[in-house]
Copies of this chain bind each other. A is one copy, B any other.
Amino acid sequence: MKQKSKKRRRSKSSQLKKTGMAPGQFLFTGEQKVENTSLQLMTYDKSEIEELSIDTIQEALTKIGNTNKMSWLNVIGLHETDIIKSIVEHFDLHKLSGEDILSVGQRPKLDEYEHYIHIVAKMFRIEDGNIEDEQITILFAEGLLITFQEKEGDVFNTVRERLIEDKGQIRQRHTDYLAYALLDSIVDHYFIAIEHFGNVIEELEVELLENPSDKILPNLHEVRREASYIRRSVFPMRETVNRFEKLEVPYMHKETKLFIRDLYDHTVQVIETVTVLKDAVSGLLDLYMSSVSNRMNNVMKVLTIVSTIFIPLTFIAGVYGMNFTNMPELEYKYGYLITMIAMAILTLLMIFYFKRKKWL
């Protein structure tokens, strides 16, 4: 998970890059993750759908301008700020909106601008056993939806499939429903990420109960930090989805609201599950501390048993190792035998005592 925490640190320093800039200036605050910005355009209506990979932004904008169908423009890669700028200018987006697209350490939120809606969400995916997070910006207005992401690969494939294969009602509906479908897909993937995370916790738990060792402590600490990070990313989604449901704009259709309500329920469920995970992590820490105490107890018991049995015996042996001239016991024929038997009895008494104390 090393790679992970590096990325997170970046998102803090991204904020630093921007310090003191005039608001609304175009500065990408993340790291370049793809070579070239690529553009994917889908235009569709009830009857047909077209999917295009487009090279230049001008071409895309022209295409969008020439159609009456729904358009979904997906922009992958944010480091070529010129492209973003063209989009911002072409659609007359607000400067803060443009700035937010490029600033990748954002909190999930929904902003309502004069003629469009700006949604920021955080996407979690499992990649090579790690939880990868990436910021997604969704802008939508009547007939047009634009998404911005940092790198290739996203959680939207099932949405694309439903569009292409005309499954469900997605082609019958407008961009508000598409925005809902995208957010729904993001939230659905939270469950996968959380399950992955839950598995990591369960493995740690098994390891803790079966083979508790010092090496588990840094892992526990790491998991705790991850849990805290995921929780913080998921929390603002509730408010975001809630504002989505409350939107009163002409391109927001009443039929969609029921679906957003459902999405809201899912988001709440995600948050509850994450909270439960967090509790599970602190449970693990308590378990760890308890097991450390237990092991210490066992170590101490061994020490105490061995010491308590042998120290008195050694003393007795020491006594008869003294060199006094006048020690009558030493001359007795059975002196040695009696001493050894006495020691054996003493040992048995000790063992009995420890048995009764349940230390053995």
Contacts and interface: CB of A to CB of B under 8 A. Distances in A.
Interface of A: 12-13, 15-16, 18-25, 94, 96, 107, 109, 111, 155, 157-159, 162, 167-170, 184-185, 188-189, 191-192, 194-195, 198, 205, 209, 211, 213-214, 217-218, 221, 224-225, 228-229, 232, 258-259, 261-262, 265, 268-269, 272-273, 276, 279-280, 283, 285-304, 306-308, 310-315, 317-327, 329-336, 339-340, 358-359
Of the candidates A23, A189, A293, the one having the most CB atoms from chain B within 10 angstroms of its own CB is A23
A218 B325 CA distance: 57
Contacts of A317: 315, 318-319, 321-322
B293 A292 contact: yes
A309 to B, nearest CB: 8
B287 A217 contact: yes
Given A19-B189, A20-B159, A306-B308, 8 more contacts: A12-B198, A15-B195, A16-B192, A214-B298, A292-B297, A293-B296, A311-B311, A311-B314
Contact of A13 (B195, B299, B358): B195
Contact of A320 (B225, B293, B323, B334): B323
Contacts of A287: 217, 221
24 contacts: A12-B273, A16-B195, A19-B191, A20-B155, A20-B157, A22-B170, A94-B258, A205-B221, A209-B217, A209-B218, A217-B290, A232-B276, A292-B293, A293-B296, A296-B296, A296-B300, A299-B301, A302-B308, A303-B304, A306-B307, A306-B308, A320-B322, A322-B336, A323-B327
A276 B195 CA distance: 23
Contacts of A297: 214, 292, 295-296, 299
A325 B330 CA distance: 6
A283 B225 contact: yes
B308 A322 contact: no
A152 to B, nearest CB: 18
Contact of A314 (B13, B211, B286, B318): B318
A167 B20 CA distance: 12
A262 B118 CA distance: 13
A298 B96 CA distance: 56
Contact of A265 (B107, B194, B335): B107
Tell me how many chains of this kind the complex includes.
Answer: 5
Nearest to A191: B15
B326 A333 contact: yes
Contact of A303 (B24, B188, B307): B307
A323 B330 contact: yes
Given A265-B107, A303-B303, A167 B22 contact: yes
Of the candidates A170, A188, A310, A333, the one having the most CB atoms from chain B within 10 angstroms of its own CB is A310
A311 B308 contact: no
Given A107-B265, A312-B310, A359-B299, A280 B225 contact: yes
A332 to B, nearest CB: 8
A184 B195 CA distance: 33
A321 to B, nearest CB: 4
A331 B301 CA distance: 38
A246 B301 CA distance: 62
B326 A323 contact: no
A78 to B, nearest CB: 19
Given A22-B162, A158-B21, A330-B324, A304 B300 contact: yes
